[in-house]
Amino acid sequence: MHVYDAVIEFIDDTIERSIDSLKELCRIPTVAAKGQGLEETAELVSKMLQEAGLKTQIHETSGAPVVTAILDVGAKRTLMFYDHYDVQPAEPLDLWDSEPFEPEIRDGRLYGRGVADNKGDTVSRIWLIKAFTETKTDLLVNIKFVVEGEEEIGSPHLPEFTKKNAEFLKADGGIWEFGGAGIDGVQEAWLGLKGVFFVELEVERLNKDVHSSTACILPSAAYRLVWALASLKDENNKILIDGFYDDAKTLSVVELEAIEKIDMHETMWRTELGIDEYLMGLSGDALKEAYYNAPTCNICGLTSGYQGKGSMTVLPAKASVKIDFRLVEDMNPNDIHRKLRLHLDRHGFTDVKITYSEGYPAAKTPVDHPFVKIVAKANQRVFGNLRIQVTSPGSGPLYLFKEHVPMVSIGCGDSKSSVHSPNESIILENYRKSIHRLVYVIDEMGHW
Ligand SMILES: [Zn+2]
């Protein structure tokens, strides 16, 4: 009998209880963007961690509290988990097939806002430790948790916590918040995250909306904004801000080798999205390099004037746009902010106001780090091969942990999890197996 058989058995025998815990957590609408339910959820997460045998602490910040937990068994190695208890807003509500904050099981999937991103992973990791505690099985590693409450709004107050608690962040390996099965069902591990720089650009040219007949003599805020936007990027998708690409680090030889092995399932993905080709006709290695290492300048939302039914002849006084830039390693959001201002001024758009709402740099764990191999071995014991992704095209505050702990992102999601979208869900069988995988991460790490 393997030393961890009792732990695996406990996980299987109590899976219903574990899912009930997850449902309980998902019933609280912890929408960070609306400042909803944050304290209450932090309390519940802390209680769940305590019940699993960890010593917890709730750290106040100027925003949502950060929950930490520790179980020091005096082992040589320490494993850390980074999770977040906040979720995205559930809107648009009419596109949900069941209540977003009343989790429901259908065809082996659990539906609800946050089940995949990232309350499911959070509870699975707490349940993992509970399995060790309740079966009185020796843990071969020390355990630490950092669970924040503002990941979905760019973790604006997490630096307050990390600055004060640098010592707590030290660990030999860490499991980041998300991951799961790719489009072909193969499990994926993400080793990095792009940075982000999110801004709102606003133009106000009149002190009120007026009749559109005056467009022959009065300035248009909407056109000013559209012209300013057109100056940011050309039709070849090249970002035209002076010096934008200066610090962008290219992929290393090892990283290029790693992405060479990846099948992006180009055709499958195209069919799923209903497109004939990717941007600029990209395919093969060029498509992969762009996906993993191209910075972006993307319009998230554009607003001006009348957008209701029918026509309304109006010259709107104001126009605004929300833009997110994804940044690759070595690009700095403050630097890009400065360059964006300079660009707009040089092109005569001094009337375009920039509001900088969130930003942080990219970070990565090296492909050849021993902890990556540990996670791959553990995955092999449950799911089979692990696909190593050098970085996610998405963003997260990994840079705050980078110096202290090598992080690998794996989780219980899958390509149909619809994170940030209606009908967010997870496959319950993957949820159970992802807890098993973590048992083996502990096992492999204990023998490192
Ligand atoms: Zn998210």
| Structure-token match 């994804």, residue found | 326
CA of 75 to the centre of ligand 1 (A): 33
| Secondary structure string (H, E, C) spanning 398-425 | HHHCCCCCCEEECCCEECCCCCCCCCCE
State yes or no: pLDDT of 307 exceeds 80.
yes
State yes or no: pLDDT of 445 exceeds 70.
yes
CA of 359 to the centre of ligand 1 (A): 15
- Specify whether domain 194-248+295-360 bears CATH 3.30.70.360: yes
pLDDT at 183: 87
- Give the pLDDT mean for 359-379: 97
CA of 140 to the centre of ligand 1 (A): 31
Q: Which of 370, 373, 397, 378 is nearest to 128 (CA)?
A: 378
Q: How confident is the model at residue 1 (pLDDT cuts 50, 70, 90)?
A: low
pLDDT at 358: 87
CA of 9 to the centre of ligand 1 (A): 31
State yes or no: pLDDT of 311 exceeds 60.
yes
The CB density around residue 306, as the number of other CB atoms within 10 Å, is: 13
CA of 191 to the centre of ligand 1 (A): 17
- Give the pLDDT mean for 87-101: 97
Residues whose CB falls within 8 Å of the CB of residue 215, separated by 6 or more in sequence, listed in order: 315
The two structure tokens encoding residue 290: 């762009």
Can you give the pTM of this predicted structure? 0.89
CA of 154 to the centre of ligand 1 (A): 10
Chain segment 253-287, per-residue pLDDT in tens: 999 999 998 988 999 989 988 999 999 999 999 99
CA of 153 to the centre of ligand 1 (A): 9
Chain segment 39-54, per-residue pLDDT in tens: 999 999 999 999 999 9
CA of 369 to the centre of ligand 1 (A): 26
- Give the pLDDT mean for 322-330: 97
The DSSP element (H or E) to which 173 belongs, if any, is strand 173-176
Q: How confident is the model at residue 402 (pLDDT cuts 50, 70, 90)?
A: very high
Instruction: Tell me if residue 214 falls in helix, strand or coil.
Output: helix
Q: Which of 276, 394, 263, 271 is nearest to 324 (CA)?
A: 394
CA of 116 to the centre of ligand 1 (A): 9
Q: Which of 13, 37, 10 is nearest to 25 (CA)?
A: 37
The DSSP element (H or E) to which 200 belongs, if any, is strand 192-204
Instruction: Tell me if residue 305 falls in helix, strand or coil.
Output: coil
CA of 114 to the centre of ligand 1 (A): 8
CA of 419 to the centre of ligand 1 (A): 7
Q: How confident is the model at residue 195 (pLDDT cuts 50, 70, 90)?
A: very high
CA of 300 to the centre of ligand 1 (A): 16
CA of 88 to the centre of ligand 1 (A): 6
CA of 77 to the centre of ligand 1 (A): 29
CA of 358 to the centre of ligand 1 (A): 15
State yes or no: pLDDT of 236 exceeds 90.
yes
- Give the pLDDT mean for 200-225: 98
CA of 27 to the centre of ligand 1 (A): 17
CA of 84 to the centre of ligand 1 (A): 9
CA of 87 to the centre of ligand 1 (A): 7
What residues does each domain of the chain span?
A: 5-191+365-446, 194-248+295-360
Q: Which CATH number fits domain 5-191+365-446: 3.30.360.10, 3.40.630.10, 1.10.3720.10, 3.90.550.10?
A: 3.40.630.10
CA of 122 to the centre of ligand 1 (A): 13
